[in-house]
Structure 1
């Protein structure tokens, strides 16, 4: 594995609400990945582990939910390390999207 990529996504939701929103928006992840990618989520307390299969590679990601931020850490295989900065930028955008609340209509 190459060096992990880590991104903090700040919020003011509290841990419980952030976790609820992430869970509600998980289905959006596969749409942001290359065609054929699969995402397998597993919660362990306030940590969400995501096993992602894409482009013939396995990628592991962890989201740690805190009261004021979500820390996303991705372990890339060497074959995908070249895309590290693009992935970091995508994590910032996707992380914020996971915290959106689409249940409100105001």
Structure 2
């Protein structure tokens, strides 16, 4: 099994505001990246469990929202592992955009 990608993004929004901003985020991200398809998106309290598909490969993970940070953990199939660093950078950038104070 592949080693998961873990991205922690700090924020100063509080848990409720971070959740409000993130809940539409995965679907929005998929709309921005035509190769990404959301297969499953289930929120349970402050945790999102998801499955996505890119380039015919499935990936699964979780997003945990805390008062001061968001932690995303996703396991990529071996075929997508070579894109792990780029994915981590893109996830961090997208997350920061969603969690910036406005």
Q: Tell me which residue corresponds to 1:41.
A: 41
In 2, distance between residues paired with 1:66 and 1:21?
A: 13
For 1:44 and 1:76, locate their aligned partners in 2 and report how far apart those are by CA, in whole Å.
22
CA distance in 2, matches of 1:59, 1:65: 20
- Answer yes or no: is 1:17 the counterpart of 2:12: no
Pairs aligned (count): 101
Cross-structure match for 1:55: 55
| Structure 1 residue runs of 4 or more that deviate by more than 6 Å after TM superposition | none
Normalising by structure 2, we get a TM-score of 0.87
TM superposition shift of 1:100:
4.9
What is the SS of the residue equivalent to 2:23?
Answer: helix
Query: Any unmatched runs of 5+ in structure 1?
Result: none
